[in-house]
Chains A and B, each alone.
Chain A
């Protein structure tokens, strides 16, 4: 039932804009949010180029561009407004590229970007509706389809370094003497092109928190989850299990803390749920690293936590005055 619209006293000289309250708004928009997220990736991108050469930039470029085109095509096919200018597709394409090893072939970046958008987002209803962090869906897809192309050690053989997590997996804690934690921190390590730039990612993450684009709850609880669980194992037997700092400085832990786990669509909305989510994801990272077959537990840990999100969001406080 629509009530009759009576435009009493309507005025033609000055046509006012009418809209519902509130009339002031924070200046948050999806575009700005995504732009800031991209900006937050810049230091890591720069470090990646420094580390792995221009190849890192071209992989990110391919993935980003293909993601935008895929998004536009998907929106067009669904007859929706083509709003790729909100940078969300670009951002998630680049996120996917950050997980790739430096030697990954260009087609892998392209396919991954298509999967990120088409399978990661569109089939679930588009940006904001995906239950699982979209770049991780693509990562898992590619990892299962082309295990060799996705393998970090295999694709970075030209570097006189080892992938820390593979070393831990295959040669145990004793092999870790070769890694200087300071170097790990600065990103002088093998890993995904962007996801191994610990210090640079930290700078980006702090920028996002300081500017209010992500809340601190998920990153902090995630890191606490990783550190806490690692400490537990390490305390049990330091000759078998790596120390917590190693877990934080290697693989995509820091990348996940600030960029994958807080992904808006697939993480919970409430404060307590967000903290639980971070903790669970963090704990899972170490458990998978210890018991799983994949050296870096991060992607699967986040995906598992993503699947728990709807459940976690049911943990809500009593409404104001509620019984």
Chain B
């Protein structure tokens, strides 16, 4: 087994095309916090609506295969594929004017339309790979340019920007029609939206600025060109990118690609800095997942709930210039107001503080905990008020 190399580089050396992974017999889609639109025992066609997002602009979810819903619980629904190509009819978008109806249609086809919901002077397209080890963004820029440009055109109809900028890693050849180029050093965490926006505008959290990723545009483009909802995601495993139906259990991927996973290993969906370690190989891939990593047991010293030794590495490495050591302690003792006062909401969730912590404290976890608790409190208050 090759040694795991830790690095911050966001560069990718892409030679292959994107490989399609065939749909498995059974898929598991996570539906916690979604509004279910189907039920157990229902027969559904590929592309049929299965759930809606509860927020105002969140995209809907659709069946990635044709088949039957066999299990529904709080977390997942399971669909057993019937192996046919039975698919919903495409929607004709070209007949629709730019406006509410088109927006709702896009939302209904799976696009998170929040970025399209109002106009903005500047549109920034984040064309950097999101995290080390993930090359989806540059891969799409390399081989799916037409689709991305179709998506960009659609996005521009809504946002009506005066200026469009594509942020790419310095030295890379990627371009988009009608977008200026901003070269950014391809080193994590420079790929985070907030830092890209700062590099482009020189301001922190600038106004009148919308930022979208290449993947966002690619998805919109795909819908525009096909009229069909989003039912897959693109994921990097090793040096190759794969199109993979949403909800495909990791086990299927692991078997198909011949990966080695044993007890005690971590399997991470998403990136090495911000991703999620799954607890079961039956877990299905989600829309926002763009990487799959197997971290072998013993590769890293385990996270511990140890006391901080005050070494300062978390502070010295923080791109948001906040004191993760302090904030995490406030979060630990549920003193959320203090955490906010010390800049909790400036945290970009890059994970570098935990990455570098000498005492191996779960700093990012505490920060996320504080943020969710505050959000839930806020939501609770709104309901009451």
Binding site for B on A (CB under 8 A): 6-11, 14-30, 33, 125-129, 215, 264-271, 274, 313, 316-322
Contact = CB atoms under 8 A, between A and B. Distances in A.
Contacts of B312: 215, 264, 267-270, 274
B204 A320 contact: yes
A29 B323 contact: no
A17 B6 contact: no
B316 interface: yes
B355 A128 contact: no
A14 B322 contact: no
B176 interface: no
A19 B304 CA distance: 10
Given A9-B280, A20-B303, A25 B325 contact: no
Contact of A319 (B75, B295, B320): B320
29 contacts: A6-B75, A8-B76, A9-B28, A15-B264, A16-B267, A19-B277, A20-B277, A20-B368, A21-B274, A22-B274, A22-B351, A22-B352, A23-B275, A23-B295, A24-B6, A24-B355, A25-B300, A25-B301, A25-B354, A28-B358, A33-B358, A128-B307, A264-B310, A264-B358, A269-B310, A319-B322, A319-B346, A320-B348, A321-B346
**Which of B283, B297, B315: most chain A Cβ within 10 A?**
B315
Contacts of B73: 6, 8
Given A6-B75, A10-B279, A125 B307 contact: yes
A240 to B, nearest CB: 39
A28 B357 contact: yes
A175 B250 CA distance: 78
B311 interface: yes
Contact of A23 (B266, B306, B311, B358): B266
B70 interface: no
A16 B277 contact: yes
Nearest to A130: B310
A20 B365 contact: yes
Interface of B: 4, 6, 28, 73-76, 132, 194, 204-205, 261-268, 270, 272-283, 293, 295, 297, 300-303, 306-316, 319-323, 325, 342-343, 346, 348, 351-352, 354-360, 362, 364-365, 368
Given A9-B280, A19-B303, A30 B309 contact: yes
Contacts of B268: 23
B279 A18 contact: yes
B364 to A, nearest CB: 6
A319 B321 contact: yes
B277 A23 contact: yes
Given A8-B76, A25-B301, A25-B355, A265 B309 contact: yes
A321 B205 contact: yes
Contacts of A28: 313, 356-358
A16 B263 contact: yes
B6 A26 contact: yes
Nearest to B368: A20
Contact of B300 (A14, A21, A24): A24
A27 B76 CA distance: 36
A16 B265 contact: yes
A125 B28 CA distance: 48
A266 to B, nearest CB: 8
A320 B205 CA distance: 8
Contacts of B360: 25, 29
B266 A18 contact: yes
A70 to B, nearest CB: 19
A126 B316 CA distance: 23
Contacts of A317: 321
Contacts of B276: 21
A18 B279 CA distance: 6
A22 B273 contact: yes
Nearest to B349: A21
Given A8-B280, A20-B365, 16 more contacts: A7-B279, A16-B281, A19-B277, A19-B302, A23-B275, A24-B272, A25-B355, A25-B360, A26-B355, A33-B311, A128-B359, A129-B310, A264-B310, A264-B311, A267-B310, A269-B314
B133 to A, nearest CB: 9
A24 B362 contact: no
A41 B4 CA distance: 31
Q: Which 5 A-B pairs have the closest CB atoms?
A: A319-B343, A128-B309, A269-B312, A319-B346, A22-B351
Contact of A10 (B264, B280, B313): B280
A33 B357 CA distance: 11
B315 A270 contact: yes
Contact of B316 (A19, A26, A215, A265): A215
Given A19-B266, A30-B309, A320-B322, A11 B280 contact: yes
A317 B356 CA distance: 20
B75 A14 contact: no
A271 B277 contact: no
B300 A17 contact: no
A274 B368 CA distance: 28
B316 A270 contact: yes
B9 to A, nearest CB: 13
A321 B262 contact: no
B300 A20 contact: no
Contacts of B319: 320
A259 to B, nearest CB: 15
Given A19-B302, A22-B351, A22-B355, A127 B309 contact: yes
A320 B342 CA distance: 11
A27 B300 contact: yes
Contacts of B314: 269
Contacts of A22: 272-274, 351-352, 354-355, 364
A14 B321 contact: no
B364 A21 contact: yes
Q: Which of B307, B325, B352 has the most CB of A within 10 A?
A: B307
A129 B3 CA distance: 36
A23 to B, nearest CB: 5
Nearest to A10: B280
Contacts of B262: 14
